[in-house]
Amino acid sequence: MNETSIQQAIEQFKQTIYSYIQHPSLQTYTGTPVLNENQLFYLLIPFFNDEQWTEEHHESAVTAAIVSTALYEHEKITQQGGISIKQQVIVLAGDFYSGRYYEVLAHRGNFNMVRALSEAIVRRCEQQIQVYECQPTTIDEWLHTMMTVESEHITQFYTNYQFTHYRELAQKSLLYLRLQSELAANKTGEASLILTRMFEMEGDVNVVLQQKLRALAADIQQLIVQSTMSDVLKQQATARIQLSNVALTPVMKEV
């Protein structure tokens, strides 16, 4: 599978996800549901790397993406002031998407994946609660929370289908990309609650976070080299990290 066919497969995957969760009334208020393309890439890596991939695998990957979308919708709700009609609809959208993942898997009798994604939701929500309560006490704990939020649904998908040899690469790559994105957003006051709380509790930790990013980048490159992925996939995984670095060069220079 070459670079073009990989991108085409991701785009087709997006359309399949949208077909499961599209709802005109909800989208009037909330817009098109957000799909993280980096997450989709890692959900599909076993397929791209010619692992056994049946209709069940594909449908389960779709539901994992739906779970992530549902939880992202809930994260949009602000904490200040009363809840507006739009915010109420955002909550409904998240609940609707969550219901769709369960409906799809239950219809197929795929209760192992229901259990796996339920566990992902619990773990991610536990981490979100800790963020609200400012429970993480070290930078590493904050980063673990960010990694769980970003990749737990993929971790559970891998575990359910014995794709765990991709787990560490996915976790570290998605953490790296999320942290890069957060630091860029922080420059314009648009960082998520996780990074905002981290800075409130830990102070200005830009230098430390840049060191963590460099260490993550080195780990990711080593994992890519050691992986059983095809050369094309290795290039794709590396390119995603390199493109992130290029996009954030101004931020890196300011630190």
Instruction: Give the domains, in start order, of the chain with CATH numbers.
Output: 3-254 (1.10.600.10)
> Residue 114, SS3?
helix
Tens digit of each residue's pLDDT (9 = 90 or more) over 132-164? 777 888 899 999 999 999 999 999 999 999 999
Which one, of 49, 36, 18, 15, lies nearest residue 166 by Cα? 49
Q: What token pair was written down for 188? A: 């314009």
For residue range 106-132, list pLDDT tens digits in order.
778 899 999 999 899 888 888 877 887
10-residue mean pLDDT profile of the chain (255 residues): values are: 92 93 67 86 97 96 90 59 52 59 80 91 84 84 93 96 97 96 87 85 87 94 95 94 52 28
Contacts of 94 (CB under 8 A, 6+ apart): 70, 71, 72, 73, 74
CB count, 10 Å around CB of 104?
19
